[in-house]
Amino acid sequence: MIFKLTLLERLLHQMHRLPTPVMDAFGSVIFGRALTIGVRRGVFEAVAVRPLTIEEIATKTDLSVVGVRLLVEAFEVAGYLRRVGDEYGVTSEGAKWLVQGSPFYLGNLIRYFETLYTRWAYLEHSVERGSPPQSYLEMFGEEDWGVYVYGMRDLARLLLPEVRTKISLSRDIKRLLDIGGSHGLYAIDLCRRYSNLHAVIMDFDQALRHTRSMLKEEAIEDRVSLLAGDCRSVTLPEGQDCVLLFNVVHGFNEEENSKLVERVLKVLVPGGKLYILDQITEERQRSGLARLLPLMVGLNLLNETGGNTYSFQQVRDWCSGAQSVQRIRLRLPGVSLIEAKK
């Protein structure tokens, strides 16, 4: 976290003596931009093997000495780098999240945030009108799609260990439809857990171009098929034992989601399961982080696609055709897995 308050600062904060709007509107915003630069220009990779001086980091990253000094000192304050004499090395936290090769690497996701920054310039327009001037589908180039898919894979890797323990399916499951699955991480994992399972990943063609190379990396092309199209309009394959809607419903409005879930339930076999994973809003959550993150995600999605984040009650209403609906809160703040059984 960027701000680690001292005891005195915490007391001043409780007394409303700290100008927190300045921290929120300036410090957090520009630090996020600095972090994306550090990831993209390889600052953390440069010091992953051994600590380096500012001059050595500047040479390796092709950045100015004065610029690198400001970056690495900020990263030290935030806990991602440590200083030893005149040299800077990566901390355990920095190595976990920001160095390639770590199973928890989030660099691709952070690079995706960088593409969002430019689009936040018209956020006020989206808030005023209730929709963006253009959706990301219209604005993304080939490189943007690659950054998006690999960024979503980073997020999925973070969630997968816990999600894996929450999904319970019949041992003889045969058909899985992963809507909006792009990176395919969840479908691949389920295919490896259930030997008779064949999965279909449905997503936009621009995303699936990157999915193909990922399936080759995992050597599982014979168990996973791809279906290009918009899930709101493309005919869904019938006879599904399980359907995944992971980080999908937040991209659509309520009416679109209601229709989509209704169509999904129709293609499920009796006893089949729909799993929805998303940021779920709730007013009674004690954690401020768990309350705030879904709201900020919703604001960003309004600006990206005209989407939003929703409450569990709203999702349950969409699943009115299911026999049972239950919610499973995950450790990542604000994220829930919802199971609807037909």
Better pLDDT: 309 or 4 = 309
Which of the pair, 12 or 92, is modelled with greater confidence?
Answer: 92
- The model's confidence at residue 311, banded by pLDDT at 50, 70 and 90, is very high
Question: 72 with 82: CB under 8 angstroms?
Answer: no
For a pLDDT cut of 90, what percent of the chain falls above it? 81
Instruction: Look at residue 206 and tell me whether its pLDDT is greater than 80.
Output: yes
One DSSP character per residue, 113-179 reads: HHHHHHHGGGHHHHHHHSS-SS-HHHH--HHHHHHHHHHHHHHHHHHHHHHHHH----TT--EEEEE
3-state secondary structure of 50: coil
Q: What is the pLDDT of residues 113-172, one digit of tens each?
A: 999 999 999 999 999 999 999 888 788 998 999 999 999 999 999 999 999 999 999 999
Query: Would you tell me the crossing angle of helices 54-61 and 65-78 to the nearest 10 degrees?
Result: 110
Predicted confidence (pLDDT) per residue in 41-78, tens digit: 999 999 999 999 999 999 999 999 999 999 999 999 99
Fold entry, domain 172-341: Rossmann fold (3.40.50)
Mean pLDDT, residues 273-301 taken together: 88
Q: What is the mean pLDDT of the chain?
A: 94
Average pLDDT over residues 277-283: 90
Q: Write out the residue limits of the CATH 3.40.50.150 domain(s) in the chain.
A: 172-341
pLDDT for 1:
56
Mean pLDDT to the nearest integer, 298-321 = 95
- 255: pLDDT confidence band, cut at 50, 70 and 90? very high
pLDDT of residue 74: 96
Question: Which pTM value belongs to this model?
Answer: 0.91
List every span in the chain annotated with CATH 1.10.10.10.
Answer: 7-107
pLDDT of residue 87: 98
**So what's the pLDDT on residue 279?**
95
CATH 3.90.1150.10 for the 7-107 domain, yes or no: no
Which among 294, 319, 328 is positioned nearest to 308, based on CA atoms?
Answer: 294
Q: Inform me whether the pLDDT recorded for 286 exceeds 80.
A: no
